[in-house]
Structure formats: structure tokens, C-alpha cells
Amino acid sequence: MKVVVGADKAGFDLKEKVKTYLKGHDYEVVDVSETPQADFVDSSLAVTDKVLNDKIEKAIMFDEYGVGSAMASNKVKGMVTANVVEENTAHMTAMHNGAKAIAIGAGVVGEKLAYNIVQYYLDTEYAGGRHQIRLDMLNKMI
């Protein structure tokens, strides 16, 4: 599976650790921030652009708290990004919300928890069905 990652200055170190984790688990990693982006808006939009234009199914954004990246990314029509701080939300947002990306805050989530969150997210497929109605409603808003 191909996974896009990106980070600003505050999330860069955790992104690098997660990137190593992903490669060690045979994921193909596309890193849009080989050096830290100056701002979470830049890094999250670079991830979003790669996901939407290259049709990549899963992505992970990193900043200080995760909230900023999720907010910036969700401004783009067709993108669904969730700020995630624990495993169950990572699982449910992938399954019920069809999240194309998750945002993780390096100032909130430690390394081991980040690995768990990422794995729960990547292991979960979108359920579709009744949940698609909500995604369609969200896309009409933007």
C-alpha cells in the first residue's frame, strides 16, 4: 500500500519515526516533506494534493497538535482528514468517514502510540453504504 506523509517543523521528527516504521512494515512511503515545511498549512496541502491528484488512498499529516493540518486539509473539496489521538478514532474515521488522511499532533501523541494509531488507520477499510450519504453531504458543502 502507498502512504503519503508530510510534516511541518513541529511534526517532522515524529514523521521520520513513523516513516521508518512504515517502511519496516513494507508500505511504500511518499514523503512530501523531506525537509520540514515552514507551516502546517503548506505540509497538509502538499499531502492533500498528492492524495487527490495521484489517487492515493491513505495519508498521514504531522504537526504540533494535529488540528491545524486537519483543518487546512479539509478546506479542499473531496478531502476528508481527521485529527486523531488514539486508536479507536483512527479505526472509526477510516471505516465510517472514509478518511483519506489522518493528522497526528507530535506534541500530543508519543512515538509508540503514533505507531498504533497509524496501524489501526491503515488496517481499516471504508465501509461505504449508509456512511457514503454523509460524505456526499459534506462534499456538497464545499
Reported as a single tens digit per residue, the pLDDT across 48-64 is: 999 999 999 999 999 99
Residue ranges covered by each domain of the chain: 1-138
Residue 29 to residue 34: CA distance in whole angstroms: 11
- State pTM to two decimals: 0.93
At residue 55's C-alpha, the angle toward residues 67 and 61, to 5°, is 20
Burial of 76 (0-12, 13-18, 19+ CB in 10 A): middle
Which ranges constitute the DSSP H helices of the chain?
12-24, 40-54, 67-74, 87-97, 111-122, 130-141
Q: What pLDDT is attached to residue 142?
A: 61
Cβ atoms of 62 and 14 within 8 Å: the answer is yes
Cβ atoms of 46 and 86 within 8 Å: the answer is no
Half-sphere exposure of 34 (CA within 13 A, CB side): 1
How high is the mean pLDDT of the chain?
95
Is residue 111 pLDDT above 70, yes or no?
Answer: yes
Cβ atoms of 37 and 46 within 8 Å: the answer is yes
Q: What's the CATH fold of domain 1-138?
A: Ribose 5-phosphate Isomerase B; Chain: A, (3.40.1400)
